Structure 1
Amino acid sequence: MTDKAFDKVQFITIEPDLEGQRIDNFLRTLLKGVPKSLIYRILRKGEVRINKKRVKPEYKLKAGDFARIPPIRVAEPNAAPSTKLNKVASLESNILFEDEVIIVVNKPSGMAVHGGSGLSFGVIEALRALRPQAKFLELVHRLDRDTSGCLLIAKKRSALKHLHEQLRQKTVDKRYQALVIGHWPENRFKVKAPLRKNTLKSGERLVCVAEDGKPSETRYRVLQRYDKATLIEASPITGRTHQIRVHCLHAGHAILGDKKYCEDDYNEEFAKKGLERLFLHAFSLSYIHPVSTEKMFHEAPLSEELQSMLKNLS
């Protein structure tokens, strides 16, 4: 790997959109690929100056601040994915909505939201390759790699803050469709069960219901019944890792196609009917637009594969 980047002093005037952001978080976004330890070292040594003064990592930027960033040498990061790659190019046609501050994309199943853990790129890296002029692109929330559907991306930091506050206030409405084993009871409208995240030695993440876990709640309603399965709508009230999947398992109705939480026998039976992926889809998303304050609503239709699966069951 070759030395790269940031090898000259940078002088930056802080724009109003960045006001209130901590200097350490600003540097982590600006200096992508630079280890966190190095960022905190240059702050600790006073090599980063704001208005010619040393600052601590918790310093909050003000509009008009004049920042000096010292030269830094780091290993060359992975190159941005080519826009000619099929997966990257096809993402353009999956964009449901875009304006000057947000993008809503119908994320395909099997595509991670970001690179890492052996993946060269994910949705956010692909969008940055498709939108090279965008100075800021960050995930507002996440979806599991095998889950498809509505994913929200912010194009400005102010929009990201606004949308994160809506998530904290639980005013963002996210609705998923899932096909589960057996007959979901008509009167089972919610699952409240604390969830604890475990990371195995292999790095794989597994979540379980545990008394010492984080409080978690998902609300449900039945959409359609089939012979050995039920199509349900799930609305997560909290946003824990694998929440819908583990709450369905806890209720005795694991999601079909789930290689982590559904028994192989069920997955194999439904694979013969045409289901070769996790049947969990972020079907709709609603929130308040960060600039216009208009109520926004987006729907991502089920893929042809999932629609075909339901027709087979019918």
Structure 2
Amino acid sequence: MGPEILFEDAEALVIDKPGGLPIDRPRAGGPCLEDSMDDLKLGFQRAPVPAHRLDRDTSGCLLLARNPKALKRFAAAFEERQVEKRYLGVVAGELKEEEGTIALSLSKVSTAKDGWRMIPARKGKPAVTHWRKLETRGGLTLVEFRPETGRTHQIRVHAASGLGAPLLGDPVYGSGKGAPRTMLHAAGLTVPRGEKAPIVAASPLPADFLALGFSDA
């Protein structure tokens, strides 16, 4: 059984990527999304190709292009910030404010000891995330994130450094405690396609979010 399909037409698929499943084969081996690509041909000759990235731990909406022309168009839509993305995350802590916008530029750093990570840096690449508090339970908060830009680890760094409350379970920007994965879910995706109807997909809240007592917002 491959991942659930949330949207399908002749040029696109949106799948519900499970949390913890990497898109590409890890160096150490093990399962990855590539294993499902033949099953996702669904009668087409070509296997679909991811049009953007989701971290290994992030669950939810992942857009796949079914031909090279579509891939090029979708990549341009992401690059030009035309794609609407809605994420849900559980942060470790309670937030005083109800909503806001985080604008923290990000830069990549690397050390032999800790490997690479993203840090807020004045000379980094601009990164903007709008957020809204949805629900608080037992010292944890469910937050809606709508990133304007698509920087690597953007929401993870913005939660930790912008909100002062890292995503639950994040081993790099938080304590890594409280959950077996970084609690971030790609809940919705809208991709405009000119005169064609847009690609619209939504992924329900996963079981591990529901297990913390949060409801599907």
Instruction: Please give the TM-score of this superposition, normalised by the length of structure 2.
Output: 0.88
Is 2:192 the counterpart of 1:280? no
Q: Secondary structure of the equivalent of 1:208?
A: strand
AA aligned to 2:52 is: H
AA aligned to 1:126 is: S
Q: Secondary structure of the equivalent of 1:119?
A: coil
Provide closer, same or farther for how the CA distance between residues 311 and 150 of structure 1 changes in structure 2, counting only shifts above 3 A. Answer: closer
Hey, which of these two has a bigger chunk of strand by percent? 2
Aligned to 1:229: 140
Task: Report the count of equivalent residues.
Answer: 213
Aligned to 1:48: none
Contact 2:98 2:133 in 1 (8 A): no
- C-alpha separation in 2, matches of 1:311 and 1:192: 27
Provide closer, same or farther for how the CA distance between residues 185 and 293 of structure 1 changes in structure 2, counting only shifts above 3 A. Answer: farther
| Structure 1: 5+ residue stretches without partners | 1-88
- C-alpha separation in 1, matches of 2:55 and 2:197: 28
Aligned to 1:137: 48
Shift, 1:162, TM fit = 1.6
Q: Secondary structure of the equivalent of 1:105?
A: strand
AA aligned to 2:190 is: S
- C-alpha separation in 2, matches of 1:199 and 1:155: 35
Is 2:60 the counterpart of 1:149? yes
Is 2:156 the counterpart of 1:253? no
- C-alpha separation in 2, matches of 1:226 and 1:121: 33
Aligned to 1:55: none
Contact 2:142 2:214 in 1 (8 A): no
1:1-314 paired onto structure 2 within 5 Å: 89-91=1-3, 94-119=4-29, 122-128=32-38, 130-131=40-41, 133-135=44-46, 137-201=48-112, 204-251=115-162, 252-264=164-176, 267=177, 270=178, 275-289=179-193, 293-310=196-213
Offset from partner CA, 1:95-123 (integer Å, 9 cap, x none) = 11222211110000111112243335532
Q: Secondary structure of the equivalent of 1:158?
A: helix
Runs of 4+ in 1 over 6 A off after TM superposition: none
Bigger RCO (CA 8 Å, 6+ sep) = 2
- C-alpha separation in 1, matches of 2:73 and 2:120: 31
Shift, 1:283, TM fit = 0.5
- C-alpha separation in 2, matches of 1:249 and 1:309: 20
- C-alpha separation in 2, matches of 1:232 and 1:169: 25
Contact 1:128 1:134 in 2 (8 A): no
RMSD: 2.3
Aligned to 1:56: none
Contact 1:136 1:157 in 2 (8 A): no
Provide closer, same or farther for how the CA distance between residues 121 and 100 of structure 1 changes in structure 2, counting only shifts above 3 A. Answer: farther
Instruction: Please give the TM-score of this superposition, normalised by the length of structure 1.
Output: 0.62
Shift, 1:185, TM fit = 3.2
Provide closer, same or farther for how the CA distance between residues 237 and 311 of structure 1 changes in structure 2, counting only shifts above 3 A. Answer: closer
Percent of matched pairs sharing the same residue: 32
Shift, 1:182, TM fit = 1.7
Hey, which of these two has a bigger chunk of helix by percent? 1
Structure with bigger gyration radius: 1
